[in-house]
Amino acid sequence: MGKLFSYGTLQLEKVQQDTFGRILNGNKEILVKYIISEIKITDQKVIKSSGTDIHPILMYTGNESDFVEGVLFDLTDEELANADAYEVDDYKRDEVVFKSGKTGFVYLKS
């Protein structure tokens, strides 16, 4: 089991159904020292699932006053692999520590 932080399209029920075959359960969480920017996605499968070609992407600032709110989901190893397949090459998965002290994975600007 792993924890995955979503601040964008992985919170959408259609994306969850398409990617994991189920609706995920999670808890609100905060990631400090990051902000959200946007990128244009060209992968048609991802666009169809999310309904948009503009997706949010996390960028590290190092500034304690910057933060991003999202949801921390519990995923199986197979579901983490499915999330990796959903995310395009602009993203990389990394492990981070959240405001609560919990650790988990998040997709960042690669």
What pLDDT is stored for residue 75 in this prediction?
A: 96
Taking the domains of the chain in order of start, what are their residue ranges?
Answer: 2-109
pLDDT digits (tens, 9 = 90+) for 54-77: 999 999 999 999 999 999 999 999
What pLDDT is stored for residue 92 in this prediction?
A: 94
**What number of H helices and E strands is found in the chain?**
3, 7
Mention every residue, 6+ apart, whose C-beta is less than 8 A from residue 93: 80, 83, 84, 87, 105, 106, 107, 108
Residue 22 DSSP code: S
pLDDT digits (tens, 9 = 90+) for 3-49: 999 999 999 999 999 999 999 999 999 999 999 999 999 999 999 99
C-alpha distances in Å from residue 28, one per residue of 36, 46, 61, 105: 17, 24, 21, 14
Q: Give the architecture-level CATH label for domain 2-109.
A: Roll (3.10)
Whole-model pTM above 0.75? yes
Residue 23 DSSP code: -
**With bands split at pLDDT 50, 70 and 90, how would you rate the model's confidence at 110?**
confident
Please name which of 66, 1, 55 lies closest in space to residue 31, comparing C-alpha atoms: 66
